[in-house]
A and B are shown apart, each in its own frame.
Chain A
């Protein structure tokens, strides 16, 4: 038994430990990876250096074209280690542009599918309004593209997905998470600052993951798949969902049902994981 566990662990290839470019490469079919606007294009944030912050050559966003399970695909990966995966003007435009081009490809007869690797705290505060505008464009582009082909979001961790990009995640045809993932509109420290430490202690990791972690979000029906942190497991989950095609109805189209559930929540009582699950499941 112990021997089997060791063999399984040795065979496993962690996905969360990979950087954005390695992640994109790992999900595309072998040998098909082709990066658009790679780091040598030097399309960098013009705003960060003016504020004394060192920029990154790809502005923290990797756009890769290639094949997934033999079909044309674009994988967009955010680098969580650079400025917390925050989205500014350039990185945001790269994502929106890539999704818009994929929609255009679909209209021109190339059924291009998309995967978004979300590792982001949301808008980059140093580029506030431009980042917000870019995120709005990303959201519009997801809604446009998902009419043609599934747009699959994956939150692997460790950063998680917050802010405006959590709304973008909610607009995806399918959303996948790992145990390490967190998904929420506001990050823990923001909520603690607004609600007070008695209500929300951002340093209490079991509490934070209990409410916003991948397992909890899956149990609450807010995401479609809960995958292990393994490259092969994630690839096969993606292949399965793409083979299934578009969902009958996107989660974001079921907003009326969700609003009804949320209206029934008693906010006078401190929420815990079980209460949140039953609120969303209606149990």
Chain B
């Protein structure tokens, strides 16, 4: 298990909170909360050691396409594949926008 931190530029603080997923096999839990204006802060607790470069690439690719609101994102990962991670993040962002 390891704990990783990431930061990316962002817009204004998000309006609400959202929770998606579960710390089950091959899945992850993601908590979204409003952050400090201009900053997207992500903390990942993952069961897979040595996965920092993979998370970095996944976030970079995802946030290149869209400017996100300022958020504090907490991830509890239980061995989710990058595809599942991306689906969960998209799901949470959708809930933030429409919740």
Asked if A53 and B22 sit within 8 Å, CB to CB, the answer is no
Residues of A within 8 A of B9 (CB): none
Q: Is B33 an interface residue (CB 8 A)?
A: yes
Asked if A81 and B22 sit within 8 Å, CB to CB, the answer is yes
Query: How many Å lie between the Cα of A170 and that of B33 in the bound state?
Result: 40
Q: Is A54 an interface residue (CB 8 A)?
A: yes
Q: Which of B17, B33, B45 contacts A49 (CB 8 A)?
A: B45
Asked if B31 and A53 sit within 8 Å, CB to CB, the answer is no
Asked if B1 and A56 sit within 8 Å, CB to CB, the answer is no
Asked if A79 and B22 sit within 8 Å, CB to CB, the answer is yes
Stretch at the interface among B51-59, B60-68, B71-79, B82-90: B71-79
Query: How many Å lie between the Cα of A56 and that of B74 in the bound state?
Result: 11
**Closest-CB distance, A62 to chain B (whole angstroms):** 11
**Closest-CB distance, A32 to chain B (whole angstroms):** 18
Asked if A53 and B76 sit within 8 Å, CB to CB, the answer is no
Q: Is A19 an interface residue (CB 8 A)?
A: yes
Q: Is B23 an interface residue (CB 8 A)?
A: yes
Q: Given A39-B19, A81-B22, A81-B24: A54 and B78 within 8 A (CB)?
A: yes
**Closest-CB distance, A275 to chain B (whole angstroms):** 36
Residues of A within 8 A of B95 (CB): none
Which A residues lie at the B interface, using CB under 8 A?
A: 19, 39-40, 49, 52-57, 79, 81-83
A-B contact pairs, 13 of them (CB 8 A): A39-B19, A39-B29, A49-B45, A52-B1, A52-B47, A54-B47, A54-B76, A56-B22, A56-B76, A57-B74, A57-B76, A81-B23, A81-B25
Query: How many Å lie between the Cα of A55 and that of B43 in the bound state?
Result: 13
**Closest-CB distance, A191 to chain B (whole angstroms):** 24
**Closest-CB distance, A61 to chain B (whole angstroms):** 12
What are the 5 tightest A-B residue pairs by CB atom distance, in nearest-first order? A81-B24, A56-B23, A52-B1, A82-B23, A54-B47
Q: Which of A52, A55, A57 contacts B31 (CB 8 A)?
A: A57
Tell which of B17, B23, B24, B74 has the most Cβ of chain A within 10 Å: B23
Asked if A54 and B22 sit within 8 Å, CB to CB, the answer is no
Query: How many Å lie between the Cα of A280 and that of B23 in the bound state?
Result: 39
**Closest-CB distance, A213 to chain B (whole angstroms):** 23
Q: Is B39 an interface residue (CB 8 A)?
A: no
Asked if B47 and A53 sit within 8 Å, CB to CB, the answer is yes
Residues of B within 8 A of A56 (CB): 22-23, 29, 76
Query: How many Å lie between the Cα of A53 and that of B76 in the bound state?
Result: 10
Complex: chain B residue closest to A82, CB-CB: B23
Asked if A54 and B17 sit within 8 Å, CB to CB, the answer is no
Please give 15 more A-B residue pairs, beta carbons under 8 A apart, in addition to A49-B1, A54-B78. Answer: A39-B29, A39-B31, A40-B31, A49-B45, A52-B1, A54-B77, A56-B76, A57-B29, A57-B31, A57-B76, A79-B22, A81-B22, A81-B25, A82-B24, A83-B23
